[in-house]
Amino acid sequence: MLYNIKLYFILIFIPLILFACSATKAPLTPQQEADLLYDKAIALQDSEFYDEASAQFEEYVRRYPQSVSADNAKIQIANAYFQQGKYNEAISEYNDLIEKYPDSDAADHALISIGDVYFIQEKYSESIEAYERLIQKYPKFGIKLAFDARDRIDAIKNIQENLRVISEGSESEKDDAQYDIAEIYFNVFRNFERAKEEYQKVVDKWPKSELADDALWRIAECYWNIASRQLPSTKFSQEQIAYIDLMEIYDRFPQLAKIKLFRMDAHWPAATREAREYELAFAQTRRIINKYPNLPEKKVTDFTSDDYKKAFEKWQEIILVYPHTDRAVEAPLRIAQALAELGNLYYNMGQKHFASLFFKESLIVAPTPEGHLGMARYYGNITSISAPSWAYRRAFYHIRKAEEMVHPGSPMADRVNWAKEWMNYKMRIEGLENWPDKNTKKR
């Protein structure tokens, strides 16, 4: 149902834009009409309406077969089939592209994609044959795709050898062979779903192997890469919005974190100019907790996608299951960096308050320059116009902490210095903007 509603609005919205434009401007040129049709197909594909997008691309190729984008439209059709697991249709479209546009860059990508389709189907001979067609086209390895094709052929041969070891080799070699297969899927083919499955076999079959903790680490990285392929939604639930508001209140008034439903074990401030702010924060905190009693126990990662959550769970699992390994030592830092990365992602998407929660959690797990710079960035821009003085003090505090953690002359040190210069510049500009002019009356 949601799919149909979303598609309905896309199909209605695009013609409305075209109508609005055509109502006030001259008729579109043939090239403009072609571009609009292509853009409509791209929009549908980006929204994962693959069948509808393919229909638009096919219409584009039919109407504009000599267009400079016709070969790209063809490969988009084939890629959509590939993504949907319609492998026979994908191969047919790739071959049709190669036949109609043999000298285009898209034809080269089609050749390597044919090999990838056969590889996923574990038709290794057909896969190698497709890669070799590309190598024969560029016998001197003049383009990157030819190198990629050679790497894929070598990878397939390694997989076949590793499968033989797992089937016929000694027990001491099998965990290495299985791990190597997973590494090939991860590094060469960037197939993180399949790599995750292959790493899991190491953990399940050889839990005491010296590679088990490495495999678990890689599983976490697979989940992370899968999650990173799509931007997270910024359409927050009411509970998530309440969580963000609550954490902001706790940041200003930590004593309010003691409130449990209608009971409060927190002290009231003296009669100061901040008393009114405190009173309002107290009332808001009570409203939030009464509506969501378990919200204070939530973590910021509870509001991320399942794949991000699973990545964090796997890194934590390493610490619990393999506590004496190098990976267990590295895990807290990796978690902290991942949290800071998510913080920067949400900040760049305009969700700065939610982003700050990731930066804070990052610093709790393990202090890093990235986490401190994230907090400095947040406090320095806590409002859309200018930050209050307490926020500036916190921003400089985090910059100083980041400065203590970096090596002079390193790229990170340059980032810290830039943050310090930026904060000084921002404060000077805002000071000048607020400076009274000559017409201001003295009081």
Q: pTM of the full predicted structure?
A: 0.80
Give the residue among 44, 39, 41 at the shortest CA–CA distance from 28.
39
Q: What is the DSSP letter of 189?
A: S
Torsion, Cα 313 319 320 324, to 10 degrees, reads 160
Tell me the angle at which helices 238-252 and 275-291 cross, rounded to the nearest 10 degrees: 150
Question: Per DSSP, what are the bridge partners of residue 260?
Answer: 263
Q: Which residues contact 248 (CB under 8 A, 6 or more apart)?
A: 353
The backbone torsions φ and ψ at residue 294, rounded to the nearest 5 degrees and listed phi first, read -90, 5
pLDDT tens digits, one per residue of 224-266? 999 998 888 888 999 999 999 999 999 888 888 876 654 545 5
Torsion, Cα 343 348 353 357, to 10 degrees, reads 0
Taking the CA atoms of 358, 359, 365 and 368 in sequence, report the sign of the dihedral they define: positive
- CA-to-CA distance for 188 and 151, rounded, in angstroms? 7
Q: How many CB atoms lie within 10 A of CB 201?
A: 17
Q: What pLDDT does residue 280 have?
A: 86
E strand or H helix at 15: helix 2-24
Q: What pLDDT does residue 404 have?
A: 94
Q: What pLDDT does residue 442 have?
A: 45
Q: Where are the alpha helices (DSSP H) in 229-325?
A: 238-252, 275-291, 306-321
Domain ranges across the chain = 238-300, 325-431
Query: Is residue 110 within 8 Å of 100, Cβ to Cβ?
Result: no
The backbone torsions φ and ψ at residue 261, rounded to the nearest 5 degrees and listed phi first, read 55, -125
- CA-to-CA distance for 443 and 435, rounded, in angstroms? 15
Q: What pLDDT does residue 443 have?
A: 41
Taking the CA atoms of 415, 417, 418 and 420 in sequence, report the sign of the dihedral they define: positive
- CA-to-CA distance for 118 and 133, rounded, in angstroms? 14
Q: What is the DSSP letter of 302?
A: G
Give the residue among 260, 273, 330, 335 at the shortest CA–CA distance from 301.
335
Does CATH number 1.25.40.10 belong to domain 325-431? yes
Q: Where are the alpha helices (DSSP H) in 322-437?
A: 326-348, 352-365, 369-380, 389-405, 411-433
Spans of the chain below 70 pLDDT: 1-26, 28, 30-34, 37, 41, 45-48, 64, 68, 140-142, 259-274, 383-387, 430-443
Query: Is residue 232 within 8 Å of 305, Cβ to Cβ?
Result: yes
Helix (H), strand (E), coil (C) string for 73-138: HHHHHHHHHHHCCCHHHHHHHHHHHHHHCCCCHHHHHHHHHHHHHHHHCCCHHHHHHHHHHHHHHC
